[in-house]
A and B are shown apart, each in its own frame.
Chain A
Amino acid sequence: MPQPQLERLAIEDVSKVYGDHIALRDFSLDVAGGEFVALLGPSGCGKSTMLNCLAGLLPLTSGRISIDGERIDPLPPERRRFGMVFQNYALFPHLSIGRNVAFGLESQRVPKAEIGPRIARALHQVRLDGLEDRYPAQLSGGQQQRVAMARAIVLEPRLILMDEPLSNLDAQLRTELRTELRRLHQDLGLTTIYVTHDQSEALSLADRLVVLRNGRQLQIGTPATVYAEPADAFVAAFMGYRNLIPARRRSGGNGEVVVELADGGVSLRGVDRSASTGEQVVVAVRPSDFAVVPPGEAGDSSTADNSITCVVRVVEYQGEENAVEAEAPGGLRLHFRTTERVAPEERVAIHVDASRLLVFGADE
């Protein structure tokens, strides 16, 4: 694996304020050379603001950014030696693909004799050999984004910034290009900051995730940690815990807790992930962690261990399994996935393992 271009990128207490709107609040992050970090969150969470601050396209309100001890936040974008890939590709429409890729090399006064071979190598790395003379409008969206990547990596930047680079592509291309991105990162070892709202993209690409909401960092961790141990109900929702059920704390200790769903009636055991011991809690369960209790096995399903009885409302066939929306007592909507054949209006009991049911404080 090639040597990364920087040892350590340090972002310290960066804030960005527009009038009375705080877009980003005390963002701090240490990135090691060669690392792939994803900033994940819904639109308006501050992830693009952070990226633009890094690129130098937005001035910071406060805080500092440094690379290997050298402050870079006062530098204009053209002097930072970063590569950036935009959601809408941002290729220069009046220049051929070759000239697009050459743009940065020409700006940085790279000798003419070197430019041609470097363009060819960059285009080869993104598998677009021989397209130098085409124009952006003649390429597909996926090809255009590959050109944008080639244009960024040809400069051998010390940091690559990607702003939702796959969002404008259709689903199949997105998966394809995602693999390509991962491969490029493995081959070149470029330190990368990647902004996305798509959790599957973040999980599959990044070495580390930063989950953001309303300009605040909610959680920093490896994809496995964030996926398995979300810090709060919001991160859980983002990581696919589609069932977020308001409930009341009944008893607990040693990390285990018993909760009663808001409508009364049902009690469930789960893992206590809340910071406080407040009574109001939110129960988080992934649709795939519910399992339908076979009717014969449980006998009276209401007594089955850690389960809820509900009425099936909507069944979506999704190939290997069905995605089901069901109604529990009190009008509660639950989502689960099952390979069993279930039909609307059918009564089923669904079971969840206590270790897969997370309990968060309601006010966090």
Chain B
Amino acid sequence: MSEHARPLRERLAEHGIDRVLWLVLPAAALLGMLFVYPFVYGLGLSVQPNEGAPVIGNYVRFFSDDFERSTIWKTLVLAIPAAVVNVGISIPIAYKMRGPVRNKRLITTLLVMPATLGTVLVAEGLIRYFGPIGWFNQFLMAIGLIDGPLRLTHNYVGVMASLIITGFPLSLLLVLGHASGIDPDLERAAATLGAGPSERFRRVVLPLMLPGITIAFILAFVAAFSVFPSAVMVGNPAGETRVISIAAYQAAFERFDYPMASAIAMIMAAVQFAIVAFVFLLRGRLYRGSTSGGKG
């Protein structure tokens, strides 16, 4: 039978085009409405500044104003350390918990609990617990370690604490999920080949955990970079924790300058994209294949 005699449907199916493809439609529509359209609209809005300024006027204004421009740095010094800390704590815990552990479900539930609380609740708790007359300061004073209360809220420390409490569970779940997939025989094989515990971790387990660590870092960073409620509630939103989302909020809802707010949102996206691209570039140079030593 010649190629042209076969029905079109059959030939399309060979290339993966068949009726099952319709199932992609709802997701594609949602993505278009909730992501592509707002992004394009925002981009368009950001290059239509008020009062006849040039096309890139909003961007020029943002970068020439020290108070606005500094929000990028203020956000980065929160988001990057928060992501590093969250992923950093997750690695040893995931390493310990990757095999069969008694009460694993209970431990995981307890560790993941903070994620279900929500940023606002955590921030309120932090204000009370870490505040000047909170239990933490009272305890330190009672045991004579400090004379007056430490300032732990309404500054950088408060926001960082909030980012760690709410961000850690997600990091742990991602790193643990990846670590659990590593074949335990690989470490055993390394041991019989003469590698001690630290060498086994360094040469076998860590390289195989890296792809999971990368993804966890990226998600932790993106989540922390868009920090808003805790920066306002437990931070100092007029000073050291005036993060970039606050700048966008003030432009939109205090000055009603929507084009400027859109420009700030675009800058936010660009910074996140730059960091994510950089991390992926690093990851591309590392192994990211199977984590088992053969067929199971």
Contact = CB atoms under 8 A, between A and B. Distances in A.
16 contacts: A56-B192, A78-B192, A80-B192, A84-B188, A90-B185, A90-B294, A91-B294, A92-B186, A92-B189, A103-B190, A103-B195, A103-B203, A137-B289, A145-B294, A151-B193, A155-B193
Q: Say which size band chain A's interface belongs to.
A: 35 or more
A81 B289 CA distance: 30
B195 A168 contact: no
A88 B189 CA distance: 11
Interface of A: 55-57, 76-84, 86, 88-94, 103-104, 107-108, 135-137, 141, 144-145, 148, 151-152, 155, 161, 168
B207 interface: yes
Contact of A94 (B195, B196, B289, B296): B289
A291 to B, nearest CB: 43
A33 B15 CA distance: 61
Q: Top 6 closest A-B pairs, CB basis? A: A89-B294, A104-B193, A94-B287, A90-B293, A107-B194, A77-B191
A81 B193 CA distance: 7
A93 B195 contact: no
A55 B192 contact: yes
A283 to B, nearest CB: 41
Nearest to B194: A107
Quick one: which of A82, A83, A86 has the most chain B CB within 10 A? Answer: A86
A91 B293 contact: yes
Given A94-B287, A103-B203, A136 B293 contact: yes
Contacts of B293: 86, 88-93, 136
A78 B196 contact: yes
Contacts of B192: 55-57, 77-78, 80, 82-84, 152, 161
B76 interface: no
B294 A76 contact: no
Given A57-B188, A107-B195, 7 more contacts: A77-B192, A88-B185, A90-B186, A107-B194, A144-B294, A148-B189, A168-B295
Contacts of B292: 88, 93
A88 B194 contact: no
Contact of A93 (B190, B199, B290): B290
A133 to B, nearest CB: 14
Contacts of A55: 188, 192
A135 B289 contact: yes
Given A84-B189, A90-B185, A93-B208, A141 B195 contact: no
Contact of B207 (A94, A108, A137): A94
A18 to B, nearest CB: 13
